[in-house]
């Protein structure tokens, strides 16, 4: 009877570990592709293949604003971190399965590892939402600015920026940004479904959700609060502070021009 129970446990753990390994392998491939695309994008920006053309003292000058680097740099760093963490998880899953096979009582190690993985799934459900939301938020602002500049005519700022000569093809670049927005949204939906399936697998096998549901709720709430605070700080640093500096510099330049 005990032997049959152990075989049932091993079969259940095998299915769970096998599904986790496949999911993490696909995630590893995805983040490797994302890292490659991000590095290529940074290279194109650095070599001024992606640029703005402005009129400075009657001359056309190509510039690459620093905020062009924010999104690809973030995705590069995020991809590297995820690749390292996923690689560690894959190795740990292999060790977990070897312990299940070689020891008659593997309960001292495996459930602890799975419980940790389950807690990480709960955190990822929150963090993946805020990462996707933040990227869509900032990229939407950038896309709206570029689209607005392409439509507005006879304005001072437009006279300073030759948008039609920027990005090689401005319309194609705008559609490229829109496609990235759609891709981010689709990736998040796929990620959310995948995390939900993985979470259900753990809950069905270990009945984790019925053990300490209050702790699970607190963990999710704390993760959402932390991510929300990070998002607010990012708005302050990336939006409000640059706008404030721009206004201050513009006022000083206006005062100097009046004196002269």
Mean pLDDT of residues grouped by 10 in the chain (260 residues)?
56 77 88 90 77 58 69 87 89 76 54 76 89 89 79 54 56 80 88 87 66 75 92 86 76 66
Whole-number pLDDT of residue 62: 62
* CA 226 from centre of chain: 16
For 190, the 3-state DSSP assignment is helix
Residue pair 165/62 in contact (Cβ under 8 Å)? The answer is no
Whole-number pLDDT of residue 159: 47
Whole-number pLDDT of residue 228: 94
Whole-number pLDDT of residue 83: 93
| Residue 63, H or E segment | strand 59-63
pTM, two decimal places: 0.70
Whole-number pLDDT of residue 225: 93
Q: At what angle do helices 2-46 and 170-206 cross, to 10 degrees?
A: 170
Whole-number pLDDT of residue 216: 78
Task: Say how far apart CA 226 and CA 247 lie, in whole Å.
Answer: 31
Residues 6+ apart with CB under 8 A from 240: none
Task: Say how far apart CA 2 and CA 67 lie, in whole Å.
Answer: 62
Q: What angle do CA 209, 187, 223 make, to 5 degrees?
A: 40
Whole-number pLDDT of residue 100: 66
Task: Say how far apart CA 120 and CA 5 lie, in whole Å.
Answer: 28
Task: Say how far apart CA 5 and CA 36 lie, in whole Å.
Answer: 46
Whole-number pLDDT of residue 30: 87
Residue pair 128/187 in contact (Cβ under 8 Å)? The answer is no
Tokens describing residue 221? 């709430």
């Amino acid at each position: 009877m005990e032997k049959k129970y152990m075989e049932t446990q091993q079969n259940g753990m095998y299915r769970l570990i096998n599904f986790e390994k496949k999911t993490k392998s696909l995630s590893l491939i995805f983040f490797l592709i994302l890292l490659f695309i991000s590095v290529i994008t940074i290279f194109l920006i650095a070599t001024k293949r992606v640029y703005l053309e402005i009129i400075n003292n009657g001359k056309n000058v190509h510039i690459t604003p620093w905020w062009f680097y924010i999104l690809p740099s973030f995705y590069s760093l995020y991809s590297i971190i995820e690749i390292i963490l996923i690689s560690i998880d894959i190795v740990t899953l292999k060790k977990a399965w070897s312990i299940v096979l070689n020891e008659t009582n593997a309960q001292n190690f495996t459930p602890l590892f799975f419980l940790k993985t389950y807690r990480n799934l709960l955190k990822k459900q929150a963090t993946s939402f805020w990462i996707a939301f933040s990227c869509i938020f900032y990229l939407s602002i950038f896309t709206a600015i570029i689209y607005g500049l392409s439509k507005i005519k006879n304005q001072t700022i437009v006279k300073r920026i030759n948008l039609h000569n920027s990005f090689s093809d401005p319309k194609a670049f705008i559609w490229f940004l829109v496609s990235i927005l759609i891709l981010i949204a689709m990736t998040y939906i796929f990620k959310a479904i995948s995390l939900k399936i993985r979470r259900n697998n753990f809950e069905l096998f270990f009945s984790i959700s019925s053990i300490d549901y209050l702790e699970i709720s607190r963990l999710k709430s704390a993760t959402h609060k932390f991510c929300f605070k990070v998002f607010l700080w990012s708005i302050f640093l990336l939006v409000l502070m640059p706008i404030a500096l721009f206004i201050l510099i513009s006022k000083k330049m206006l005062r100097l021009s009046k004196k002269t």
